[in-house]
């Protein structure tokens, strides 16, 4: 299994600078005779992320690529969703990353409350039937696309 995310070069440069100058540290440092935690200081002086959604543009893209052997044949599968930051903000007042975090959580809770994901014991969500969850995602603003047997190499 492999997980990856992509970010714009400007964003990555900012993260590198923050890391390189020590502002991502989580341990206290002495500043003017007071202990401060650099990352907490950044949180205090940077804009509130909840107020940035109005200016986000573009889309999120979240997906899964799977490759393996099934019934003796090499098979590939991909499923993904793109979510517009602008559309998410228009609907909720939040950007697409928040939308793509909140909607799946809500759909999972709905599966449980409707009894579709309820059985005795302790389970991971991956152990439940994904079909009603995926259907609910599409019905709640996160439509998805799937592909079978394509070349999935990047």
The domains of the chain are located at 9-46, 56-148
Residue 90: closest CA among 132, 54, 123, 121: 54
Q: What is the pLDDT of residues 90-139, one digit of tens each?
A: 999 999 999 999 999 999 999 999 999 988 999 988 899 999 999 999 99
Helix (H, G, I), strand (E, B) or coil at 3: coil
9-11-12-14 Cα dihedral, nearest 10 degrees: 120
pLDDT at 154: 59
Which two three-digit tokens encode residue 72? Answer: 């003796």
Whether the predicted pLDDT of 2 surpasses 80? no
């Amino acid at each position: 299994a492999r997980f990856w995310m992509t970010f714009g070069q400007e964003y990555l440069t900012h993260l590198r600078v923050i890391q390189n100058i020590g502002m991502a540290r989580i341990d206290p440092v002495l500043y003017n005779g007071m202990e401060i935690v650099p990352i907490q200081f950044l949180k205090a002086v940077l804009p509130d992320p909840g107020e940035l959604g109005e200016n986000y543009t573009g889309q999120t893209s979240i997906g899964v690529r799977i490759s393996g052997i099934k019934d003796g044949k090499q098979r590939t599968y991909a499923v993904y969703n793109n979510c517009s930051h602008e559309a998410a903000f228009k609907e909720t007042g939040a950007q697409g990353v928040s939308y793509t975090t909140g909607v799946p959580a809500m759909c999972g809770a709905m599966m449980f409350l409707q009894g579709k994901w309820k059985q005795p014991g302790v389970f991971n969500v991956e152990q439940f039937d994904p079909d009603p969850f995926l259907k609910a995602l599409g019905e709640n603003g996160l439509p998805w696309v799937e592909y079978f047997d394509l070349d999935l190499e990047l």
